Each structure stands twice: as C-alpha cells, then as structure tokens.
Amino acid sequence: MDVRNCRTCGKLFNYLSGPPICPTCANALDKKFEMVKEYIYDHPRVGIKEVSEECEVSVAQITQWIREERLTFAEDSMIGLDCEGCGVTIRTGRFCKACKDRLAKGFESLYPQKNSDKKSADPKDSARMRYLDQK
C-alpha cells in the first residue's frame, strides 16, 4: 500500500499509478478536459491562451494533453507545438511523422530480423519418427 499526498489538494490517498493526484482531483481534471475538448470543438480557430482563460485550465495542462495525444487540432488551427526531434510545428504528440519514422527504424535495427531467405521446410524433411518398409 502506497499512501501519498495529492499533488493538487494535499489530501492523503492510496496511490496506485499515474499522476500523484487523489481520485477527487482526477475526476475534476477529467471534467476540465471534457470542457476544453468541447470548447475547442465549438471554436476550432482559437488560440491556446484563450482556451486556457475561458476554461480556467493552465496552458501547461493543455500542452500536456496535446503531448499525450488526448487533444488534436485541425491543420488550420492556430494551436501548434514544436516537434521534440526537429522543431517543426505539429498539431498533437511529441514528434512529427518523419521523426516517428526515424525512431521506429532505429528501434527496428536493435532487434534482429527473421530471415525469410531460408528455404521453406518440406514437411517430408521434418523431424519425425520413421518406419522401415516391411515387405
């Protein structure tokens, strides 16, 4: 049992996983997220500062939701973040498509590929019990 103080309100709670906030504050944060999501849906060309002021949520929290890919924006939106890899403007997440592809190829090189060049195994050549023909 891991008992911690809530990062937001300071109350003690039984910590399981995720951010160190109590269930009450987590529910309040989820309600704020829904409010931000609906506001952005209703006002697609709004800036992040205006969303923050209208929904009474910090810019840092909105940015975190964008980085977590919980919020995404249309291409014509004023809201954009910098890719952590190359700095190009993106609408959601941490990396642009090109950086994601580069990272994926880097991870693929860490693991050996299965050789597909090997001959296909003939079922007659497989290891099995063999009987002598009796005449």
DSSP of 79-96, one letter per residue?
--EE-TTT--EESSSSS-
Task: Write the single-letter amino acid at 8.
Answer: T
Query: Would the pLDDT of 118 be above 60?
Result: no
How does the average pLDDT of the chain come out, rounded? Answer: 85
CA distance 116 to 129: 27
Instruction: Give pTM, 2 decimals.
Output: 0.69
Which regions of 1-135 does DSSP assign to beta strands (E)?
2-5, 12-15, 81-82, 89-90
Provide the 3-class DSSP secondary structure of residue 106. helix
Whole-number pLDDT of residue 78: 78
Q: Give strand pairing partners of 4.
A: 13
